[in-house]
Every structure is written in C-alpha cells, then in structure tokens.
Amino acid sequence: MKHFLPFLITIATVVLVLLGWVQSGVVARERMRSSRTPDEAARLLLSQVQARKWDFAHTLLANTGEVEKAAFVRDVAGSNGSLLTYASLEKFDVWPLHNNGREATVRVKLHYSTAVGPLDDVRDLQVEHQGETWRVRWPTTTIAKVAPQVIPVNYLRWDVINRNAEDDWGVQNVDSPQVRILSMNALQRPDRIVILGEIVNEDTIPAYINVGATLLRPDGSPIAQETSFDKISHVLLPKQVSPYRIDFPGIKLDQVKSVRMDAKAMLVPASADPVIEVNRQKLETDALGKKVLRGDLVNQSGQIVNIPHVLAAYYDANGKVIWVSDGYVDQELQPQIPVAFAVDVPDDVAPKVHNYHVVVNHYDINNAS
C-alpha cells in the first residue's frame, strides 16, 4: 500500500491532467496549424487575428509580398478611431463555397464584439494551395486619399447658458424646443412589438430628443415601457426629421389596448457640422440572399467622422412608415471619401417599400459632448 499509493495518486493526477488537456481542444488546435484544407487555413488565419497576433497572421497570407502589414491590420482591426478599433473578434464561422484542388473560396462570418454591440461581417476569402498547405490570399485594396486642400466651413454652433440655481424663481429659463411626432405605427413582429415612426424638430434651435412608448392594457395599466435608445438621432437641428424605432420583445399586440407616446425634448449645445451625404441608395439583395438598403456615405466636412450610424425609414405607397432599420458602419468617414453601408430590411417588408429616408448619426472622438 505505502509504495502503491504514491504511484497511484501520481498516475491518476497525470491521467486527469491529460484528459483535461484533450477536453480543452488543444489537439484540435494543433491539427489546425497544419492547414491541410482551405477551411483550416482560414481558421488558422482568423484565430491569429482573434489573438491579435498581427505579425504571424500576416506571414500566413499567400500574398504576403503584395499586402502591406499595416494595410492588413487596418483591414481587420480598423484605424482612426473607427468602430473596428473598438472591436474584438469574438468568434467566427467558416464554410467552403468552392474548391478545385488548387484554389478555393471559403465564406467566413466574423462575429465582433464592439463598443456599440455585436457586429457581424461576412467575407468571401480566396485560398490557394501552396506546397503542402493552404494559404489565404488577402484582397489588396488601395486606400483612397484626399488631395491636400482647404475645406471652408462656416461653423454653425449653438451654445446654451442656463439659469443659475441661485437665480430667483421668476428668472426666465430658455424654453425647451418644440418637437412633434410626425407618425407612429405599431407592428407585430414574430418575437416582439415594434413602434416606429418619425419625429421632427419644429423649433429654430437644436433639440435633444428621446422618444418613449408605454404599452397599455385595456384597464389602462402599463404593460411595458421602452425608449428608442440608439434607434433615433438624438440631436436634431431645426426642421430635421429623424426616424425612431422602439422594440418591445416578448409582447403580443393583442395584449395591448393602446400606446402612450412620450417625446421629450431638451435644449442642448449642438453643431451643424459635419454634413454627411448619402449617395447611391438602392434596395438590393446581398450575397446571403437578404434584402438590404445599400449606399455610400460621403463626409462633406474636413474632419474625420469616427463612427457613422445609419438610420433608415421605409415608406409604403401611401407614405406611411412601415419599417425602421439601422446599422453601424465599421469604417471611419474620411473627408470626401465614399464609404459603403448596408442595412437590413426584413424580407416581408421589402416588397412593400415604396420609398425610404436615410439619416446619418455619428460619433466623433474629439467632439463627444
């Protein structure tokens, strides 16, 4: 016993550690390093991107000589405070599309965790057979550059001086801006109720707005209360219109007797810049067969817009708002350089869309307040 037991304990411990080793997927990972299939090559590359091992990931490319490392990193990790710089690749899915033995195409779906929520990106990667292994051929993209120039900006800005707390009660404060809900439509979606519509700033000063909705039962008691959160442009310049959307997950329309809308408007400092042009807007079908509204964003000002956010309202033939969708653009907007965007439109809504209106919201690192 006294000689047997130490050996038993030692061997049992080693066996258990080995079992743990196998369970942790180490063996599978080691196998992947050999890149014996296009699928494994893509997985290996993406696992290195996930671990932010840029040097090694760059050496794995089939066209290392053609793709600058900086350009590759910019492509997968963003630059200039764009959304990708606030993102980490959380997981990815890879599936083959085509393979002729020498070249193959794999489709990868990248699931990023970002500062504004999850972000999915679907890309088709070309993979080449080189010697014993497969390697990903990274697309070479040329980055558009703006010629040095001066962009004149007549800087329009509103500042607010509020009354002091010590001021007498009668001392007048500046009134809140006047805003109006232009339209409201309640829709039943498979897993939720969606309240959507448009709101306009009717005043002559900028307004900070927020739209909330309360679903009421037949007896008038509230069922749930939600706000538009980021599905609205919170700061509206005079006469500007923004779509809004409020989601109520897990609630059915037949439970609801009425909806109480609440549009709050506040006076806040604001700037009229930058002006962002929305070009080439078209409803299309993407590679996955989903309906999307595509277009280009062009920043007409001279400052970089770090994170653009696209909000789109869709109208039916009667001009009624039938859907509102939104999407964050993972690239920054350099002055004058078009950047593509695409936002989803549900398949059942797309055939009814007669017109649409796109609003661009934005976040700038240097002007967050």
Site for another protein in 331-360 (CB under 8 A): 356-359
* Maximum C-alpha span of the chain: 94
- Report the residue from 172, 221, 318, 366 that binds another protein according to the rule CB under 8 A: 172
Residues 105-134 contacting another protein, CB under 8 A:
111, 113-118
| Binding status of residue 202 toward another protein by CB under 8 A | yes
DSSP code of residue 151: -
To which H or E segment does residue 12 belong? Answer: helix 4-23
For residue 132, the minimal CB distance to another protein (Å) is: 27
Query: Where is 57: in which H helix or E strand?
Result: helix 54-59
Site for another protein in 253-292 (CB under 8 A): 264, 266, 268, 272, 275-282
Rounded distance, CA 253 to CA 149, Å? 55
Report whether 150 contacts 76 (CB < 8 A).
no
Residue 112: CB minimum distance to another protein, A: 8
- Region near another protein per CB under 8 A, out of 45-53, 67-75, 195-203, 313-321: 195-203
Judged by CB under 8 A, the stretch of 53-61, 86-94, 96-104, 132-140 that binds another protein is: 86-94
Which member of 109, 192, 234, 352 binds another protein (CB under 8 A)? Answer: 234
Q: Which of 38, 78, 197, 206 binds another protein (CB under 8 A)?
A: 206
Instruction: Find all residues with CB under 8 Å of 53, minimum gap 6, and list them.
Output: none
Contacts of 246 (CB under 8 A, 6+ apart): 194, 195, 196, 211, 212, 213, 226, 227, 228, 231
Q: What are phi and psi of 11, to 5 degrees?
A: -65, -45
Pick between residue 10 and residue 130 the one whose CB is nearest to another protein. 10
CB of 38 to another protein, least distance (A): 27
**174 vs 287, which CB is nearer to another protein?**
174
Sole window of 36-44, 60-68, 188-196, 225-233 interacting with another protein (rule: CB under 8 A): 225-233
Measured from the Cβ of residue 299, the count of other Cβ atoms closer than 10 Å reads: 26
Nearest-approach distance from CB 270 to another protein, in angstroms = 9
Which CB, 18 or 70, lies closer to another protein? Answer: 18
Give the nearer residue to another protein in terms of CB position, either 16 or 122.
16
Nearest in space to 266 (alpha carbons), one of 179, 359, 167: 179
Strands 241-249 and 235-236 come out as unpaired
3-state secondary structure of 43: helix
Q: Which stretch binds another protein (CB under 8 A): 16-24, 33-41, 60-68, 133-141?
A: 16-24
